[in-house]
Amino acid sequence: MTQQSKQSLSYRDAGVDISAGDELVERIKPFARKTIREGVLSGLGGFGALFEIPRRYREPVLVSGTDGVGTKLKLAFELKRHDTVGIDLVAMSVNDVLVQGAEPLFFLDYFACGRLDVDTAASVIQGIAKGCEYSGCALIGGETAEMPGMYPEGEYDLAGFAVGVVEKSAIITGQNIMPGDVVLGLPSSGAHSNGYSLVRKIIARSNPDLGAVFDDEGTQTRTLADAIMAPTRIYVKPMLALLAALPVKGMAHITGGGITENVPRVLPEAVKAVIEQSSWLRPRLFQWLQSEGNVVESEMHRVFNCGIGMVVIVASEHAQQALHLLHAAGEKALEIGRIEARADGEAQTIVV
């Protein structure tokens, strides 16, 4: 075949639809505009997004975080539920930034797929914008990558990147935590975005009816699918209000590793956290997962949040005021434990 007789190829022939990408950008611009806040100098569409640190910070320190949604996405594909995984994506990064006392400023997303379905992508990114609204940060940039052959049909992957700022003198390190301090817990909405490889294994083994009525969330009846796919809670606004009102010694976002592996990340070597599991009612989802998977108690606390999505450590004299402020902000916070002296070789977090 001569060079002249070869068929002319386009990017679309190779599986990449530039027009679909352009349509997606136009579809998501209204959602991104709702997240604009002080400091935004440029938004979607440029090669880079510009953001000015608010001038109220005297010695600003930037805090960054990145994460994904993990294998919870597999369930999103199977259930065709794409509207809340964007909230999960934002939550996983902004909650991590928050625990060091930082106010989330802006968020960037990365959406990768084999073939771009504009409706699906727009639904996901609309969820990302909602998460940014909930956390008060701006969605100012991102990337949509259409890569034929990299992903199975109908699947995609997500990554998120958050940047926050904290006054240098207000960085929360946990180093002043001491025996006698009080451990507070803020409820989760479910498994959040962690432990889903085990969740999926349990579902595959028990083969439940995911559409069956499972429980009542307030006044709303939920299916098992609803309970499993409930988006990760975002704790930014109530916690920033608490930080402005009184000293917080430490915070731990309960993600992969559960309570027993995340709380130690904020504790000094000389102390341990004693968590009383009877201080809160374990949500039914975790009861179901433990029963159906025959999961031992120690594994439950090592994999799942078991109903507590954020741990906050305060001095005993501030505990009641902290609870009052969190309740006023709509958080059903609880006292779930205490800080004690730790012996050599002893675990740093003990659930009793």
Q: What is the pTM of this model?
A: 0.92
Domains 11-170 and 182-351 share a fold: no
| 4: confidence class by pLDDT, cuts 50, 70, 90 | low
**At residue 294, does pLDDT exceed 70?**
yes
Q: How far apart are CA 48 and CA 46, in angstroms?
A: 5
| 142: confidence class by pLDDT, cuts 50, 70, 90 | confident
Sheet holding 334-341: strands in order across?
250-253, 308-314, 182-187, 334-341, 271-275, 349-351
**At residue 6, does pLDDT exceed 80?**
no
Query: Residues near 186 by Cβ (< 8 Å), separated by ≥ 6?
Result: 233, 235, 238, 308, 309, 310, 311, 312, 326, 331, 332, 333
**At residue 233, does pLDDT exceed 70?**
yes
**What number of CA atoms fall less than 13 Å from residue 280's CA on the CB side?**
24
Is domain 182-351 classified as CATH 3.90.650.10? Answer: yes
Read off the pLDDT of residues 241-258 as tens digits, 9 standing for 90 and up: 999 999 999 999 999 899
| 128: confidence class by pLDDT, cuts 50, 70, 90 | very high
- Map tokens 């699906």 to a residue: 120
Q: What is the pLDDT of residue 216?
A: 76
Q: What is the pLDDT of residue 201?
A: 96
| 33: confidence class by pLDDT, cuts 50, 70, 90 | confident
CB 112 within 8 A of CB 125: no
Sequence ranges of the domains in the chain: 11-170, 182-351
Is domain 11-170 classified as CATH 3.30.1330.10? Answer: yes
Q: What is the pLDDT of residue 20?
A: 78
